[in-house]
Amino acid sequence: MSVRVSVKLNQSKINKLVEASKQAFKLTVEDVLKDIKDSQVVPKDTGNLESTGSIEFVSEAVASIVFDTPYAKRLYWHPEYNFKTDKNSNAQGRWMDMYMSGSKRDFVKERYFVHLKELSKGLVR
């Protein structure tokens, strides 16, 4: 017994999915930066560190969230510091860990899917 299979790709829908994916990625990274600020996890004294939070898009699927002050690296890598919590109630070091292996590890995946579903206009369910 033989079976014949014919596959026809709809290039316009594939292109729509590719573009939706790129845009969903960008929106997801923006969501992460916003969530970091909303979660009040960045140590805050004058607000300078938190206000420097920005996104650097390296490629279509790689981005960095950057806090750019001379002391950002020191505060990030030393969670043992006794951070003041009067201005940011959850101030801590290593504030990205929660997105990689902590309580918000599914946040990126969930936000990406929400954006992809919306942007693909019915192609993704």
Tell me the average pLDDT across 87-107.
95
- Between CA 40 and CA 42 the distance in angstroms is 6
Instruction: Report the pLDDT value the prediction gives residue 117, as an integer from 0 to 100.
Output: 96
Going by the DSSP 8-state scheme, the letter that residue 47 receives in this structure is S
Quote the mean pLDDT of the chain: 95
Per-residue pLDDT of 53-91, as tens digits, reads 999 999 989 999 999 999 999 999 999 999 999 999 999
Q: What's the pLDDT score for residue 73?
A: 96
Residue 56 pairs in a beta bridge with 64
Residue type, 29: V
Give the DSSP per-residue string, 58-105.
EETTEEEEE--STTHHHHHT-TTS----SSSTT--S-TTHHHHTSTTT
pLDDT over 90 percentage in the chain: 94
Residue 72's Cα: distance from chain center in Å?
A: 19
CA distance 82 to 79: 8
Identity of residue 55: I
Burial class (CB in 10 A: 0-12, 13-18, 19+), 44: buried
42 close to 67: Cβ distance less than 8 angstroms: yes
| 125 band by pLDDT with thresholds 50, 70 and 90 | confident
